[in-house]
Amino acid sequence: MSKLFFSVLTIALTISSCQTSSDQTESKPKTVLHKDSVASEAIDSLALKPMPCANDSLNAIANVMSGIADSSMVYKDVQHSSSFQTFSANFNKRWMSFDSSRLTNLSTFRENEISKVVKKQSTLFYPFSGPDILHAQTFFPDADNYVMIGLEPVGSLPAFKNSQVDSLMPYYNTINTSLDAILKFSFFRTVSMSKDLKNAEVDGTLHLLFLFLKRTGNLICSAKPVTVDSLGHVVYLNSFLELKKSKSLTKGVEIKFTDKNNQPKTVSYFSLNAADGGMKQNKGFMTYLTNMGKINTYLKGASYLMHKSYFSMVRNVILNQSEHVIQDDSGIAFHYFTESNSAWSYTFYGSYIRPIAMFSAFYQADLDSTYKQQGSKNIGFGIGYNFRDKNSNFMIATKKH
């Protein structure tokens, strides 16, 4: 038995120590032994904890993106540069403040409220999310798959060449700027994202997806550029450059990672037009959504898009397939729940007041009335467009069976 233990351990350590270049990781992310392999079965038989899947190059990239100092040799010169060290020190303070206050409040709310009402589903659907895997994973850490959609492009992995170490400050500044709204108000501003995530430094959501995953204690295993074919199947491309050049109506990235509890997870972000006009032309993606089966859906800062008649297709996917819909008032208009073929029960949090001036036309008298009749629980923090604590609203709609 001891010989088997040491030979298996040697194999596992050899695999985990291998490094691949950032170019290779786009199409051939490093893998580790899984349960269907002889070595992994032997490890399990010895009652050892399974080794987390991790890719050294991708995690080194993510550490630079998120200002995390490490001892890796992959980006040694970048890590030692004064610009990175300044960014790292400043962003560490910013994140520590966010983590110790706001993120702690979100986690407490999940433990005390969401987890007691929402039954786990394997897939969490988060449309109109932008790169906000932060709230998705914080509120729903038990999901296995996170499916997110938005208009913002996927982008590509930066090279961080040694010759650029002294000229990376614009990159760090853009990363910082792009996070202003989400860290202060809990949502991304669509207008800001069109600028912050479409430039030479930060060219898409991939940068912030990596940052949030690393800052919340995850290990990245792979990041693959993808599209979806006419049958709803995911198609893997060879590089993010190929994805940029693709004429596909659906451009995405599939990121596999392990969380801090060593549980395997997948986040898939798709850049596409989710209005009815776009979805009618994109039947393959509609099939992909249908194939998700039963889901939970999270909606926040959704610009009241699904209040409009011409977002009926994605709205119907949510109403038909969701066991729970967790949202603020900017998600699906309340009357669509009461008019749907399913019966729903509701748990309300916070206070429903009129939307901010930009969205004043989307006041919901029926939601206001139901809030007052049924009552609501304290939310304890600000979230959504009315981000001040006493103005925020949060609803969990549960499908009855």
- How many angstroms separate the Cα of 86 from the Cα of each of 59, 61, 90? 20, 17, 6
In b/e form, how buried is each residue of 342-368, taking b as 16+ CB within 10 angstroms?
Answer: eebebbbbbbbbebeeebeebebeebb
Q: State the DSSP string of 136-170.
A: HHHH-TT-SEEEEEESS---------GGGGGG-HH
- Contact of 49 with 262, CB cutoff 8 Å: yes
Which pLDDT score is estimated for 304? 94
Domain boundaries, the chain: 56-272, 298-401
Ranked by mean pLDDT, the top range of 40-44, 160-164, 337-341 is: 337-341
pLDDT for 19 beyond 50: no
pLDDT value at 85 more than 60 = yes
Q: What is the dihedral of CA 21, 24, 28, 29, to 10 degrees?
A: 30
Average pLDDT over residues 8-18: 37
Q: The tokens of 13 are what?
A: 């350590």
Mean pLDDT of 106-120: 96
The CA-atom distances, in angstroms, between 317 and each of 31, 145, 163, 274, 276 are 34, 17, 48, 12, 12
Which of 97, 95, 18, 91 has the alpha carbon at shortest distance from 58? 18
Question: How many Å apart are CA 185 and CA 44, to the nearest integer?
Answer: 44
Identity of the amino acid at 77: D
Segment 143-164 mean pLDDT: 90
Distance CA 232, CA 174 (A): 35
Answer for the pair 29, 58: CB distance below 8 angstroms, yes or no.
Answer: yes
**DSSP helix/strand/coil, 245:** helix
- Choice among 80-94, 148-162, 174-188, 373-387 with the minimum mean pLDDT: 174-188
Say what the pLDDT of residue 221 is: 97
Give Cβ neighbours of residue 290 (< 8 Å, ≥ 6 apart).
232, 317, 321
CA-based nearest residue to 294, from 342, 335, 257: 342
Cβ proximity of 148 and 127 under 8 Å: yes
Q: Is residue 47 pLDDT above 80, yes or no?
A: no
Which comes out higher in pLDDT, residue 177 or 60? 60
Which amino acid, residue 108? Answer: T
Model pLDDT for residues 299-342, shown as the tens digit of each residue: 988 889 999 999 999 999 999 999 999 999 999 999 999 999 99
CA torsion, points 82, 87, 90, 96, in degrees to nearest 10?
A: -130
Query: Does the pLDDT at position 91 exceed 60?
Result: yes
| Coil, helix or strand at residue 49 | coil
What rounded mean pLDDT belongs to the chain? 84
**For residue 1, what pLDDT band results from cuts at 50, 70 and 90?**
very low
- What distances in angstroms separate CA 83 from CA 89, 160, 210, one per listed residue? 10, 13, 20
Cβ atoms of 16 and 51 closer than 8 Å: yes
Quick one: what percent of the chain has pLDDT higher than 70? 81
Task: Give Dmax over CA atoms of the chain in angstroms.
Answer: 71
Lowest mean pLDDT among 46-50, 181-185, 309-313, 391-395: 46-50
Q: What is the mean pLDDT of residues 165-186?
A: 74
Please state, in angstroms and rounded to a whole number, the distance separating the CA atoms of residues 53 and 272: 30
Whole-number pLDDT of residue 30: 39
Asked if 392 and 329 touch (Cβ cutoff 8 Å), the reply is no
Q: How far apart are CA 205 and CA 150, in angstroms?
A: 9
On whether the CB atoms of residues 164 and 114 are closer than 8 A, the answer is no
